[in-house]
Chains A and B, each alone.
Chain A
Amino acid sequence: MSAYTKPAPYTKPQTYDGGETALPIVAPNNLGSTGLRWLDADDHFARTEFDWQQAQASNVPIAAPWERLDAFSRSLSQAWQQANQFGFDAGLPWSKPGAFAAALSAPWLQANPFDRAAAMPWAQFRQRLATQTGLPWITPDAHGFAAALPWATLAAYSASKSLLWKRLGELGAYVALPWGTGSNYQNGYTNPYVNPPDDGSALVFPDLPVYIMIPTITAVVIDGGADLKPLSVTINGDVDSFCWSFEMQIPAETFAMVNPGTADPVPIRVTVNGYSWAFQVESYTDNRKFGARGFTVRGRGLSAAFADAPARTLLQGDDYNAAQLAQHEIDPTGWTVIWDAVDWLVPGGTFSYNDLTPIAAIQQLASAVGGVVISDPDALNIRVEPRYPNKPWEWSSTVPYAIVPAAMLDAASGDWRGGANPNGIYVYPKNASSGAFVRITGSAGDVQLPMVVETILTDSGAQSARGISELAKAGKTKREQIPIPLFPAPATPGFIPLQSLLLAIDEYPHAPFTITTADFVIVAVDLTQSVEVTSAGEFAIDDYVSITAPNQNLFGQITAIAGTTITVKTTAIFGGAAGDTIAADAFFTKANAWKGQVMGTQITGARSGSAISVRQVLTIERQFR
Chain B
Amino acid sequence: MFNPWKDFLDQLPKAPILVAQVITHRADGRTSIVEFPNGSQAVAQGQGVAESNYAFIRSGEIIGEAPAVTPTTIDV
Contacts and interface: CB of A to CB of B under 8 A. Distances in A.
A451 B74 contact: no
A434 B72 contact: yes
B29 interface: no
Q: Is the interface of B mostly helix, strand, loop or mixed?
A: loop
Given A433-B67, A600-B3, A450 B72 contact: no
A448 B37 CA distance: 11
Contact of B69 (A435, A438, A452): A435
Contacts of A441: 75-76
A471 B74 CA distance: 13
A194 interface: no
Contacts of A452: 16
Contact of B1 (A435, A463, A600): A600
Interface in A402-452: 426, 428-442, 445, 448, 450-452
**Listed residue (B6, B67, B70) with the most chain A CB atoms within 10 angstroms of its CB:** B67
B17 interface: yes
Given A434-B72, A437-B37, A467-B76, A453 B16 contact: yes
Contacts, number: 92
Contact of B36 (A432, A451, A467): A451
B11 interface: no
Contacts of B18: 450-451, 453
Nearest to A424: B38
Interface in B6-57: 6, 16-19, 36-38, 56
Interface size class of B (residues with CB under 8 A): 20 to 34
A432, A434, A435, A601 — most chain B CB neighbours (10 Å): A435
Contact of B70 (A435, A448, A451, A468): A435
Interface string B57-76: 00000000011111111111
A445 B71 CA distance: 14
Interface stretch (A11-19, A87-95, A234-242, A268-276): A234-242
A183 interface: no
A236 B74 CA distance: 37
A38 to B, nearest CB: 67
A442 B75 CA distance: 8
Contacts of B70: 433, 435
- Kindly state the interface size class of chain A when it binds its partner: 35 or more
A428 B72 CA distance: 10
B17 A453 contact: yes
Contacts of B75: 439-442
A453 B68 contact: no
A450 B38 CA distance: 10
B66 A430 contact: yes
Nearest to A465: B76
A435 to B, nearest CB: 4
Given A448-B38, A453-B56, A428 B3 contact: no
A609 to B, nearest CB: 28
A391 interface: yes
A277 to B, nearest CB: 15
A619 B74 contact: no
Given A450-B18, A451-B19, A453-B56, A463 B3 contact: no
A479 interface: yes
Contacts of A617: 1
Contact of A240 (B3, B73, B76): B3
Contact of A464 (B5, B16, B76): B76
A233 interface: no
Contact of A426 (B2, B67, B71): B71
A599 interface: yes
Nearest to B17: A453
B69 A428 contact: yes
A448 B38 CA distance: 9
A336 interface: no
Contacts of A453: 16-19, 56
Given A428-B19, A433-B68, A238 B3 contact: yes
Given A426-B38, A430-B66, A439 B3 contact: no
A341 to B, nearest CB: 14
Contacts of B1: 236, 238, 600-602, 617, 619
Given A238-B2, A453-B19, A439 B73 contact: yes
A583 B37 CA distance: 66
A519 B54 CA distance: 73
Interface of A: 236, 238-241, 391, 426, 428-442, 445, 448, 450-453, 460, 463-464, 467-468, 471, 479, 599-602, 617, 619
Interface of B: 1-3, 5-6, 16-19, 36-38, 56, 66-76
21 contacts: A236-B1, A240-B5, A391-B76, A426-B71, A428-B71, A433-B67, A434-B69, A435-B69, A435-B70, A435-B71, A438-B74, A438-B76, A439-B74, A453-B16, A453-B17, A453-B18, A453-B19, A453-B56, A460-B74, A467-B74, A600-B1
